[in-house]
Chains A and B, each alone.
Chain A
Amino acid sequence: MRVHLVTMPWHPLDLPSLQLGLLNRIVRQARPGDEVTEFHGSLRWAEFLLEHSGGRLGPGEYVEVGSDAIFHGLGDWVFSGVLYDDPGWGLARLRDYAAGRDVFIDTALAMRPYAASFVDACATEVLAAGPDVVGFTTTFMQNVPSLALARELKRRRPELTVVLGGSNCDGPMGHALHRNHPFVDHVVRGEAEYTFPALLRHLDAGTDPTDVPGLCWWDGTVSRANTETRRTVAPADIPSPDYDQWQTALDASPVLEYIHPKLVVEGARGCWWGEKHHCTFCGLNGTAMAFRAKPGERLWTEIDRLVRRHRLLDVVTVDNIIDMAYFRDFLPRVVDSGWDLRLHYEVKSNLTPAQLRLLGDSGTVHIQPGIESLGSRVLDLMDKGVTGARNVRTLRECENHALTCSWNLLYGFPGETAEDYTPVIDQLPALVHLQPPSGAHRIQLERFSPHFTDPGLGFGKRRPAEMYQHVYDLPEDELTDLVYLFDSEPAGIAGPAERRLQEAVAAWRAGHEHSRLLFEEDGAELLVHDRRHGRPPATHRFTGWGAAALRHLEAGRTVSALRRLLTADGYELPGEDLAAWVGRARELGLVFRDGATYVSLPTWGEPVRLSEGAR
Chain B
Amino acid sequence: MSGLPGTVPHRLTGRRVEPAGPLDLSGTGRATAEAVRFLRECQGLGLGVSWRAAGAPAYDPGLLSHLPPPAAPAAGHDGWAAWRTGHAHGTLYHRRGPDFVTVLDRRERGAAVRLTLDHPALHATFLRLLEPTPVDALDADGREALGLLAAERLVLARGGWAVTLPPRIRRWPVPCTAI
Contacts and interface: CB of A to CB of B under 8 A. Distances in A.
A402 interface: yes
A308 interface: yes
B97 A610 contact: no
A610 B168 contact: no
A366 B176 contact: yes
A503 interface: no
Interface residues of A, number: 31
A340 B169 contact: yes
A76 B153 CA distance: 45
Contacts of B171: 402, 607-608
Contact of A403 (B89, B112, B169, B174): B174
B178 A613 contact: yes
A610 B118 contact: no
Interface residues of B, number: 29
Given A260-B114, A520-B14, A614-B88, A609 B99 contact: no
B85 interface: no
B172 interface: yes
B174 A308 contact: no
Nearest to B179: A610
Contacts of A211: none
B177 A366 contact: yes
Contact of B178 (A337, A520, A606, A612): A612
Does more than half of chain A's interface fall in helix, strand or loop, or is it mixed? Answer: loop
Nearest to A366: B176
A614 B114 CA distance: 19
Given A311-B100, A339-B98, A615-B88, A610 B178 contact: yes
B2 interface: no
Interface string B59-76: 000000000000000000
A404 interface: yes
Interface in B36-80: 46
A399 B177 CA distance: 15
B120 interface: no
Given A340-B168, A615-B106, A609 B174 contact: yes
A233 interface: no
A161 interface: no
B172 A365 contact: yes
A607 B15 CA distance: 10
A470 B156 CA distance: 58
A543 B15 CA distance: 24
18 contacts: A260-B114, A307-B97, A311-B102, A313-B97, A340-B96, A342-B176, A366-B177, A398-B174, A399-B174, A402-B171, A402-B172, A607-B173, A608-B46, A608-B174, A610-B179, A611-B178, A612-B177, A615-B112
Given A304-B98, A340-B97, A612-B175, 4 more contacts: A311-B102, A311-B116, A610-B178, A612-B178
